[in-house]
Structure 1
Amino acid sequence: MRKYYFIYSFLLLPFFSSSQIDISKIGKKIIKTNSKISEKETSKGLMEALKQGSRYAVQEASKKGGFNNNQLIRIPFPKEAKKIKKTLSEIGFQKSIQDFESKMNEAAENASKEALDILIAEVKNIKIKDAFKILKGEENAATLYLKEQSYSSLETKFSPIIKTSMEKINIYKYWNPLIKKYNSIPFSKKINPNLEEYITTKAIDGLFF
């Protein structure tokens, strides 16, 4: 039992400085210096650390300003619509653009609250052999593993939540005037990106940054 808590306490350290689920550096050190620790104990310690890391990532992303105030995960204007931002900024629509970007990130914060159950379920499914691959892997091995395993489930769950959140905060009130104004400019190429899909993808990416 002491060995298990030793692993757990060491694996938790990175979570207090980053939302990314990154434990491989410490994992390698544990494996190297504690050869008597069993595979089962190591795997259990890893899973507990990943659960805690998942809780922390969701907590940080879903709090008010979790996306809006974090430049590392803040959702920017859609890439394929950057010309809209540039063009409209030049003719006095900066405030409208800022309001729209803020609403996109608010929608992502709302959806992130629903991610924890999916992440915890994936952590519980980790096999011992996979646990050791994570511990011996790259610095972001745990992040990549959980993202790969949970992405499809998160996308399925996030999509309707994002849609509901977008409706609740009336995001199209901020988006439609922008797209309408841009598309009315002579010789401009008509653009209308799928906002729901874009925000869903960026919200999931933010959890695993």
Structure 2
Amino acid sequence: MKFFPVLLITLLLTACTSAQLNQTMGEVNKALGKDAPLTTAEVAEGLKQALINGISNGSSMASQLDGYFKNPKIKIPFPPDVKKVEDKLRQIGLGGEVDKFIMTLNRGAEDAAKEAKPIFVAAIKQMTIQDAWSILRGSDNAATEYLKRTTSSLLYDKFKPVIQNSLNKVNATKYYGDIVTRYNKIPLVEKVNPDLTDYATNKAMDGLFILIAEEEKKIRLDPVARTTELLKKVFGAQK
């Protein structure tokens, strides 16, 4: 009976119509000997639980110490719009100050990532049954794209003040101000002063969505790995 979890998720992810989905669930229910058939609402709720588990994992990884700083996939670099500042400062022996700033920039993102989970969870709970089926039948990152569409604006508004406070708390703002001030004092250079908070906010969000996409892939490949009682029923893990 252990082959049923793989069979069920494969069928659900490739089904194209409500009739096919209902037929698939009926066949699995029959094969598993279930008295009460699965409903579309139960399957949708099971997907929500799986996504919330994935979101929790992604947010937790991002908010840990070095969650951004030591993850090359999401590490926030020196602002590319002023890359010339970094290059020039390293040339004149101030590479240590630049490295310190980059570390504090990522510390700010790690601190702010703690605020992401409630926003994502709220969006998932508001997901309709139609949304759930679209995600199940969609591409490997369909859930991530759904969250981008439904949370980006709110996430930015929530993240920006937190990022600002976080950058101040870890002295990233001060380090950046010192770096820019030193750079602007170099003869003949074009003065710079980009919006550090906006840059850090967007990069922090990008990093979270990268981690969420990775968690979504795990859910699709091995749904039972993040099981709850409902997921056991939905994905056919029960004997």
TM-score, normalization by structure 1: 0.83
1:109 Cα deviation after fit: 0.5
Match of 1:60 in 2: 61
1:177 Cα deviation after fit: 2.2
Superposition pairs of residues 4-83 of structure 1, within 5 angstroms: 28=13, 35-36=24-25, 38-83=39-84
Structure 1's 27 and 90: CA in aligned 2 closer, same or farther, altered over 3 A? farther
Superposition pairs of residues 82-93 of structure 1, within 5 angstroms: 82-93=83-94
- Give secondary structure in 1 for the equivalent of 2:115: coil
Structure 1's 99 and 172: CA in aligned 2 closer, same or farther, altered over 3 A? same
Instruction: Give every structure 1 segment of 4 or more consecutive aligned residues whose post-TM-superposition deviation is greater than 2 Å.
Output: 29-34
Q: Distance in 2 between matches of 1:44 and 1:102?
A: 40
The answer for unaligned runs of 5 or more in structure 2 is 26-37, 211-239
Question: Is 1:175 the equivalent of 2:183?
Answer: no
Q: Distance in 1 between matches of 2:86 and 2:12?
A: 44
Structure 1's 54 and 30: CA in aligned 2 closer, same or farther, altered over 3 A? farther
- Give secondary structure in 2 for the equivalent of 1:148: helix
Structure 1 vs Structure 2: percent identity of aligned residues?
38
Match of 1:208 in 2: 209
- Give secondary structure in 1 for the equivalent of 2:24: coil
Match of 2:166 in 1: 165
The number of residues matched between the two structures is 189
The answer for unaligned runs of 5 or more in structure 1 is 1-5, 12-24
Alignment deviations for residues 26-85 of structure 1 (CA, whole Å, 9 cap, x no partner) = 951688898125422221111011110110111000011100110100001111011111
Alignment deviations for residues 8-33 of structure 1 (CA, whole Å, 9 cap, x no partner) = xx98xxxxxxxxxxxxx895168889
Match of 1:132 in 2: 133
- Give secondary structure in 2 for the equivalent of 1:208: helix
Question: Is 1:184 the equivalent of 2:185?
Answer: yes
CA RMSD of aligned residues (A): 2.3
TM-score, normalization by structure 2: 0.73
Q: Distance in 2 between matches of 1:61 and 1:26?
A: 33
Amino acid at match of 1:28: L
